[in-house]
Amino acid sequence: MASLFGISAGAARTCLWRMVSNGELIGDDGSYALAGRLLERRQRVDEASRIDDPARVWDRTWELAVVALDRRSASDRLELRKAAMALHLAELREGVWIRPDNLDPQRFPTFRAVLDQQCTHFHGAATDITADKVRSLFSLGEWADDARVLIEAMNVALNASTRDESTESFTYEFALSIAVVRHLQLDPLLPIEFTGDHWPGHMLRSTYRRFDHAFKRRITALSAGHSY
């Protein structure tokens, strides 16, 4: 399978050995499974691409996380920023992270633990923040524009009349898949009151599932020596 992407067998074995050594894979008689941080990442990827209606009914209250520590190291600040963004919060000002309270409060326990360590939480909060300010905080216009570009790129690949089985083709489609997954994880999952009826998140997810299914079928067939 690695050879489809121009990776030699020796390089693939070295990579697997290093990943096992780093706790990123578990090896068992030639079979491997994700572990540690890569397993958590895979779970986030699966959730981001699977959910069609990720938000609960919004009661118009807000979730806030306010930094409560007097002193924090640079690494603590970076860790909090990564965790808050993974939890789909936006920074209203330094040390104040907010979002509509429409997601599971227990989502992503590892990231939640980072916020618990550094912040005081508020749920069911009220605010007079404007819709325009929310759209700006979460960069909704930019996210939607990029989503439409990715949807078009996947549709072009899916609708190609002939299949290019070159290494460059596999590498391109794999890179496209990564770009889509990363973008899906940045979907702020806001209530429809802010995104409107034509938010491209649902279309991006459904198109990605078709693209991912076709790509995996192609990879499986060719790695097994069958024509596709």
Q: Are residues 180 and 196 in the same domain?
A: yes
Q: Are residues 143 and 175 in the same domain?
A: yes
| Structural domain boundaries enclosing 199 | 39-53+135-223
Residue 130 domain-assigned? no
Element (H, E) at 11: helix 9-21
Angle at 174 between CA 157 and CA 184, to 5 degrees: 85
- Residue 98, CA distances (Å) to 40, 80, 130, 201 in order: 24, 13, 13, 21
pTM of the model: 0.84
Higher per-residue confidence, 224 vs 106 = 106
Q: Are residues 18 and 48 in the same domain?
A: no
Residue 29 domain-assigned? yes
Here the tokens at position 154 are 């996947």
Residues whose CB is less than 8 angstroms from the CB of residue 163 and which lie 6 or more positions away in sequence, other chains included:
169, 218, 228
Residue 196 domain-assigned? yes
pLDDT tens, residue by residue, 119-172: 999 989 999 999 999 999 999 999 999 999 999 999 999 998 777 778 888 899
pLDDT tens, residue by residue, 93-102: 999 999 999 9
CA distance 116 to 112: 6
* Pair type for strands 90-93 and 96-100: antiparallel
Task: For residue 98, give the CATH number of its domain.
Answer: 3.30.70
Domain boundary (80, 96, 125) is at 125
Residues whose CB is less than 8 angstroms from the CB of residue 52 and which lie 6 or more positions away in sequence, other chains included:
202, 205, 206
